[in-house]
Amino acid sequence: MRSRRSILYVPGSDPHKMEKAADSGADSVCLDLEDGVAENRKDEARGLIEKALANLDFGGSERLVRLNAFSTGRTELDLKAVLRGKPDGIVLPKVVDAGEVVKIDAMLENAEKQYPGGGYRIALIVIVESAMGILNLREICRASSRLQAVIFGSEDFLVSIGARRTESGTEVLYARSAIVVTTAAFGLQAIDLVQFNFKDLEILEEESRQGCAMGFSGKQIIHPAQIAPVQNAFTPSAEEISQALEIVQHAEAYQAQGRGAFAMGEMMVDAPVIKRAENVLARARAAGVISQT
């Protein structure tokens, strides 16, 4: 699965911002038809996104499109318009149950059949942003084989439970943890909440480090200035990579001798420690920090 340390949202109604985002270096660029677009410009944005997908060079960035939710009645027309630009993936917001995932999966499967020769597989990412969505996470995560990640939509979630945002973030801790645990159980990525203060990078860095420590794969962002701090936070450091390589190399040697746990310096290494080291190396490879071999 590809690295999604950062998912940068950009309004689909703004060609200039889409052009800048294409050259931003974000792991994923999400051209937005939902919250970032005024109601009276949503139809126009469909065409602008189609043109951006067809004409802009996004380099190594994944090209995502966030549709409007099924509840708006716009989803089908959104999808029909943007698929002409062959995006890498579709983001479906405000998902509350598995039925919505099954429905969008069928729509994407039908769209893929329209392209001769096969080989075009559209990734699916969903945003869970309500109390009901959190309760239905298990069913949502296993509803489609094309589902690759679940994004936590914190602001709508807070509205759904009648809470308010605080600096400590305790009001969203349960939901964030639930998303990390459930996605991990199904082999999916978990994408953390947005930090709307794009000028205070210290807050962003701390929040990103916390998200990474919790088990999130990446973070949503809304400004290019947030890309580097977020991607750095979700990339294993040189020290972490070096230690992980050493652990794996020692583990292979001891395994050949028929030994399981072993001491490495002042640290006792057993199966969970080895697995954690392997995960660090997998993240580093996905981010392109070390080679795939």
List alpha helices for the chain, DSSP H: 15-22, 42-55, 75-82, 98-112, 131-135, 137-141, 154-161, 170-185, 201-214, 227-233, 238-256, 271-286
Distance CA 217, CA 238 (A): 18
Is 270 an annotated catalytic residue?
yes
Is residue 122 within 8 Å of 112, Cβ to Cβ?
Answer: yes
Q: Is residue 150 part of a domain?
A: yes
95, burial (CB in 10 Å: exposed 0-12, middle 13-18, buried 19+): buried
Residue 193: domain span: 6-233
32, 97, 200, 270: the catalytic one is 270
> Same domain for 229 and 242?
no
> Same domain for 28 and 106?
yes
> Same domain for 112 and 23?
yes
Q: Is residue 182 part of a domain?
A: yes
Type of residue at 223: H
> Same domain for 75 and 168?
yes
Reading the chain (293 residues) residue by residue, the pLDDT tens digits are 799 999 999 999 999 999 999 999 999 999 999 999 999 999 999 999 999 999 999 999 999 999 999 999 999 999 999 999 999 999 999 999 999 999 999 999 999 888 776 678 999 999 999 999 999 999 999 999 999 999 999 999 999 999 999 988 999 999 999 999 999 999 999 999 999 888 889 999 999 999 999 999 999 999 999 999 999 999 988 888 888 888 888 888 877 777 777 778 878 888 888 888 888 888 888 888 887 76
